[in-house]
Amino acid sequence: MTEEEIIRLIKSDAWMMESLHTAEKLNLPDWVIAAGFIRNKIWDYLHGYELREWGESDVDLVYFDPMSNDMKADEILSEKLKVETGTKWEVVNESYAHVWNDILPFTSTEDAISKFPETVTAIGVRMKNGELELVTPYGIKDNIEMVIRPTPTFVNRMDVIKERVEKKGWLKKWPKLKYAEL
């Protein structure tokens, strides 16, 4: 599987494209829809599952605007999008999100997603000049090989990764997944 094939998968999913067009219309600076939005699509495809086999999907819309850090405004926008689309949205300005993991401030959206816990979660997609663009700080290899590997930020926090995997039921949903050997 290549980046082009992932883009084709996204383009073939009306719900994903509608979500991307909704995000694009918001005109947020340096935005991507990230994490499970793409990761789950890849894993569903590689497992031969139908669209959103595992129930409700959500949209993690992240952006970077150092001139604003209004968490409440992001919560209001998330709720507004949920009402408008019927899908759970989580909108986050990454200019303040670094405090959640007690790390240095981010410099961009790509920098922020590179600090997500797992490399397979550190993936995003956006519309740019009418075309889909993947943002993949660690490439797509772990996604297509279904390897759960910590990002450098979480390399010594495998307990956090395993707790997330258990809580989200990844190994039950996608039994071909495996942990990276560290």
Give the pLDDT confidence score for residue 43 in this predicted structure: 94
Give the pLDDT confidence score for residue 57 in this predicted structure: 75
> Residue 7 corresponds to which tokens in the numbers above?
């883009």
Average pLDDT over residues 85-90: 92
Each residue's pLDDT tens digit, 23-39: 999 999 999 999 999 99
- Distant-in-sequence, close-in-space partners of 162: CB < 8 Å, separation ≥ 6: 179
Q: Is the pLDDT of residue 100 over 80?
A: no
In the chain, the percentage of residues whose pLDDT exceeds 90 is 76
Give the pLDDT confidence score for residue 89 in this predicted structure: 95
Q: What is the DSSP letter of 181?
A: P
Q: What is this structure's pTM?
A: 0.91
Average pLDDT over residues 70-86: 92
Average pLDDT over residues 92-108: 79
Each residue's pLDDT tens digit, 115-154: 999 999 999 999 988 899 999 999 999 999 999 999 999 9
For residue 127, give the 3-state DSSP assignment: strand
Average pLDDT over residues 149-172: 93
Give the pLDDT confidence score for residue 56 in this predicted structure: 56
Q: What are the extents of the domains in the chain?
A: 3-179
Q: Where are the beta strands (DSSP E) in 38-84?
A: 58-63
CA distance 34 to 63: 10
Give the pLDDT confidence score for residue 67 in this predicted structure: 86
Q: 14-28: string of b/e by CB count within 10 Å (b at 16+)? A: eebeebbebbeeeeb
CA distance 173 to 109: 28
- Using 50, 70 and 90 to split pLDDT, how confident is the model at 99? low
Give the pLDDT confidence score for residue 55 in this predicted structure: 53
Q: Is the pLDDT of residue 73 over 80?
A: yes
